[in-house]
Structure 1
Amino acid sequence: MTTLDEGAPSARVQTLRLAGAGVSLIAVCYGLARFAYGLFVPAFRDEFALTATVIGVIAAGSYVSYCVAIVVTTVLIPRWGSRPLVVVAGGLATVGTALVAVAPHGVMLAVGVIVAGASTGVASPPLAHAVAHAVPAKDRDRIQAVVNAGTGAGVAVAGPVALLVRDQWRIGWLAFAVMCAVATIWAAVVVRTPAPREPMPREMLPRPLLPSGGAHLLVATATMGLSSSAIWTFGREMLVTEGGQSERFSLVAWILLGACGLAGAAAGDAIGRLGLRRAWQFVAVLLAATTGLLAAWPEIAGAWAMLAVFGAAYIALTGIVLIWGSRIYGRTPAAGVGLSFLVFALGQALGAPLIGLVAQLAGLPTAFGVAAAVAVIGAALAPRRSLEGG
């Protein structure tokens, strides 16, 4: 079988081009259109007089739009293929970030965040589908994890932009819209829907909808989604209000989160060495520890270290979710990725307003402690050993 190391140059180039376009699209959809909202929460709070609960509700709206989009996309992939859907994903990211940039009030802000959030639900399944059917099996997990790590690249870009624009946050979001448009064009040129290596089911939904191990996968991912919503939505707020950090230092911490998230690209290799089950347990415990310790130590030294580790752990965890879903749904990997990312986002949609409510009633440190406890539960819901062989 052809591999990246031994195959023809054309196959290697095709794989690298697909990986590059995939990383770029994931970076703008997740790192800019979706997760940059949490980065700008202090500015939005001041500009539109938002409470913690409202901030959480807006974030939840983004996750809900993601859920709707991922369901629709999973249904459409067998009919449309990858290319049209990655263009839709980039278009939603471009429009959503532009709406945020020009928002005159909180309602328009929410609309922009919701539209931008939908882009992520459209982006992941078609990219997973393209990789699953274009990349040789030996390299598939690695390329899936590398593409998924684009989130870290996007967050790492969003941080310096926020640092440069500071109070002029609208300029930053206009810059995000331009970057989203460029990534969309790149994906439209590169991503194709290759002929599958084996017959592709044409049903609109996989059959069975929940194969053996499917329910376990979905419960585990929902749990970790709920826990991770604390840092993504209120992480920077924690640094500013509880840690006493300046806007500049809290932005540097966010840049570290994104930059270290690139280490999550090693999720595929980690699974190869540790196995799917141990890799999940390891990164889930890391996520729990960083969330809890950030609440206890929000000052510069502790916070920067915790966010750096969280970035790597989060991206690695989502990479493991992607590979876990692909293994459970072997013949329809896009459906496996779509469903697992759907429930991950549902967990985040539930978690964002809940964390906001707990923060409003008992303070941010208590809310983060609750989120850390939920992650510990998620660590116990590791994949079954029967999946270790891929």
Structure 2
Amino acid sequence: MKQAKFLFIASAIVGVSSSVFWTFSRSLLSVVHNMSQFESVVFWILMGISGVIGGVGGGLINRIGLSLSYRLTLLLMMISISIITLSSQITIYTSAIFFGISYIFMTGILIVWATRIYKNFPSVGVSLSFLFLGIGQSFGSFLSGLTIDALTYSVTFLVFSLLGLVGLVVPVKSKLAH
């Protein structure tokens, strides 16, 4: 179960870093980019629809491995969190699409990772992983709100995307027992 600690660390990092997007992306769109409510709803819908693509990415884990899947998905998620700060509708809507795909795919990666570690009790592994994801999101939402108040929306999103990149150094063993 030594590998479980890395799963939980990764889950918490994903939770903290993604929280700013879940909690404040629509506020950023209206405050920083002066987007209308309709435009921000379109953004949210694009993110949701794109999540379906992330949900069918399980075959990728089998093809390129758990470790590379995790790292590429985390990188895509952090790119999506950072490019929302750019004042272009193309980058803003691309951010929604990338985040939708990467977040849902990341939850799938965490599920696969947990079931490989907790092969006799997969529901325990998945539950604990998602507990750490939720703790990270709760803490991250609080921290991102404070950071927005102290700095700006754009700087906060960039800081949280950099925080998420810390997850790239978390060890992930692709050859865990199936």
| TM-score grouping bracket, smaller chain normalisation | over 0.9
Q: Does 1:293 align with 2:83?
A: yes
- Distance (Å, rounded) in 2 between the aligned partners of 1:281 and 1:316: 12
Displacement of 1:375: 1.3
Distance change (3 Å), C-alpha of 1:257 and 1:309: same
Q: Does 1:247 align with 2:37?
A: yes
Equivalent residue, structure 1, for 2:139 = 350
- Distance (Å, rounded) in 2 between the aligned partners of 1:279 and 1:382: 13
* Secondary structure class of the residue paired with 1:331: coil
Q: Does 1:224 align with 2:14?
A: yes
* Secondary structure class of the residue paired with 2:56: helix
- Unaligned runs of at least 5 residues, structure 1: 1-210
Displacement of 1:298: 4.2
- Distance (Å, rounded) in 2 between the aligned partners of 1:246 and 1:299: 14
Q: What is the aligned residue count?
A: 178
The 8 Å contact of residues 239 and 298 in structure 1, kept in 2 or not, is answered as no
Larger radius of gyration: 1
Report the TM-score, using the length of structure 1 for normalisation.
0.45
Distance change (3 Å), C-alpha of 1:298 and 1:318: farther
- Distance (Å, rounded) in 2 between the aligned partners of 1:257 and 1:289: 14
Equivalent residue, structure 1, for 2:67 = 277
* Secondary structure class of the residue paired with 1:315: helix
- Distance (Å, rounded) in 2 between the aligned partners of 1:329 and 1:266: 23
- Distance (Å, rounded) in 1 between the aligned partners of 2:108 and 2:164: 17
**Amino acid aligned to 1:255:** I
- Distance (Å, rounded) in 1 between the aligned partners of 2:118 and 2:140: 27
Displacement of 1:382: 4.5
Paired residue for 1:315, among 101, 104, 107?
A: 104
Q: Where does 1:103-142 land on structure 2 (aligned, <5 Å)?
A: none
- RMSD over aligned CA atoms reads 1.2
Equivalent residue, structure 1, for 2:153 = 364
- Distance (Å, rounded) in 1 between the aligned partners of 2:169 and 2:25: 24
Deviations 1:233-283 (A, max 9, x none): 001111111111111111101100000010111231110111111100110
Equivalent residue, structure 2, for 1:330 = 119
The 8 Å contact of residues 280 and 320 in structure 1, kept in 2 or not, is answered as yes
- Distance (Å, rounded) in 2 between the aligned partners of 1:358 and 1:368: 9
Deviations 1:52-84 (A, max 9, x none): xxxxxxxxxxxxxxxxxxxxxxxxxxxxxxxxx
Equivalent residue, structure 2, for 1:48 = none
- Distance (Å, rounded) in 1 between the aligned partners of 2:88 and 2:83: 11
* Secondary structure class of the residue paired with 2:84: helix
- Distance (Å, rounded) in 1 between the aligned partners of 2:174 and 2:69: 12
